[in-house]
Copies of this chain bind each other. A is one copy, B any other.
Amino acid sequence: MKKEYLLTPGPTPVPPQAREVMAREIIHHRTSGYRKIFQQVSELLKLVFKTKNDILTFTSSGTGAMEAAVVNLLSPGDKAIVVRGGKFGERFEEICRAYNITAINIDVEWGKAVNPDLIAGALDSDKQISAVFTTLCETSTGVVNDIQAIGSIARKYKAILVVDAISGLCADNLQTDEWGVDIAIAASQKGLMTPPGLAFISVSPKARERIEKSRLPRYYFDFKKAKKALEKFDSPFTPAISLMLALKEALELIKAEGIDNVLARHKRLSRAVKAAIKSLGLQMLAPDAPANTVTAVKVPEGIDGLQLVKIIREKYGVTIAGGQGKLKGKIIRIAHLGYMAEFDLIIGISALEMALAELGYKVKLGSGLAAAEEIFSTPGKE
């Protein structure tokens, strides 16, 4: 017998309520029953995004929605600022390149947040810049960017602010409307506790105007078609019906808990993991701008990072993430995201302690757990 535990920043565990509805007989999407569910999902998503804007839904991974933002907002020859502080920031630049958009890269050391002044400077130096692409939580480094500060800058310019909130939504606070985020992007398999396959995009009035003028080619990801269909709670193309049914259940759970309580839970879980890491003598990759979504931990000198992830998974059944891109083998990433509570992280920290000991790292077994329990058992301690 081997029990399996998933502590990755996507996919994340799916609650039984959401899994069970997918086992039911499928329904057709051009029916009043499905339209009602789509309507409920669209309304509930607004609570989570903290927006009054329309939220468009696409059947794709989050990357599809990132591409959708580029092709619906920009035109050939446009320039866009891309904050590159990790793998997902870099992805925006790759998409811009695929469409011949000139990316003005703001390169940020992996593990640091972007300095909003750099964005202000870039926008000041070229008033023709059409968009700013950045991330809420950069999943590859565990950094949360200061979207509020970036939003207060971007709203003074013609540039559209696009925020990849794919991993961060529900875990790191996002106030789409109050902070002036024009386009926020999310996906189902993160804080929204649903299997992968759905992506979401909120569209501000400022972004809507730009879409009217955009001349990059698109069809499947066309915002105007999606918006027109949404008015009747319909989809231009066959949607991922079973995933939508699951999402509705997951969103009902979020509504019942309250989005601010959901955020507070993620913060508590995140603080406990970070306290455990510190108590084990390990170092965080992103101590200055730590996300509540995922904690990236430097693999200590002399330890094989790939081996560490492998032991945790194969011996203890706990799947955590390793490093991506240039951080491969150099960090591990423990997610505290979505359908997770205290004991999910107790399990994760326990597996980490035992695997570190096996690899010869000097660790006092139970010390990380004690630090986490200290946070969990003391209200207000976080």
Contact = CB atoms under 8 A, between A and B. Distances in A.
A242 B8 contact: no
A380 B217 CA distance: 52
Interface string A13-27: 110000110111111
A367 to B, nearest CB: 28
Contacts of A23: 19-20, 22-23
Q: How many copies does the complex hold?
A: 2
Contacts of A62: 237-238
Interface in A23-57: 23-29, 31
A26 B319 contact: no
Contacts of A63: 219-220, 236-238
A220 B60 contact: yes
Contact of A59 (B60, B95, B98): B60
A67 B218 CA distance: 9
A176 to B, nearest CB: 23
B240 A196 contact: yes
Contacts of A27: 4, 6, 11
Interface string A211-253: 0000011111110000000000000111111110000000000
Which of A60, A95, A98 has the most C-beta atoms of chain B within 10 angstroms of its own C-beta? A60
Contacts of A19: 22-26
Interface residues on A, range: 35 or more
A86 interface: no
Interface string A86-111: 00000000110011100000000000
A171 to B, nearest CB: 17
Given A238-B11, A238-B62, A220 B319 contact: no
Nearest to A24: B19
Contacts of A242: 22, 195-197, 242-243
Contact of A13 (B13, B26, B218, B319): B26
A130 interface: no
Contacts of A240: 195-197, 240, 243
Given A94-B219, A98-B219, A61 B237 contact: yes
Given A59-B64, A197-B239, A240-B240, 9 more contacts: A11-B28, A14-B26, A19-B24, A26-B195, A59-B60, A64-B220, A195-B242, A197-B242, A240-B243
17 contacts: A6-B27, A23-B23, A26-B189, A26-B195, A59-B59, A61-B238, A63-B219, A64-B237, A67-B220, A94-B219, A99-B217, A99-B219, A195-B240, A196-B241, A197-B197, A197-B242, A240-B243
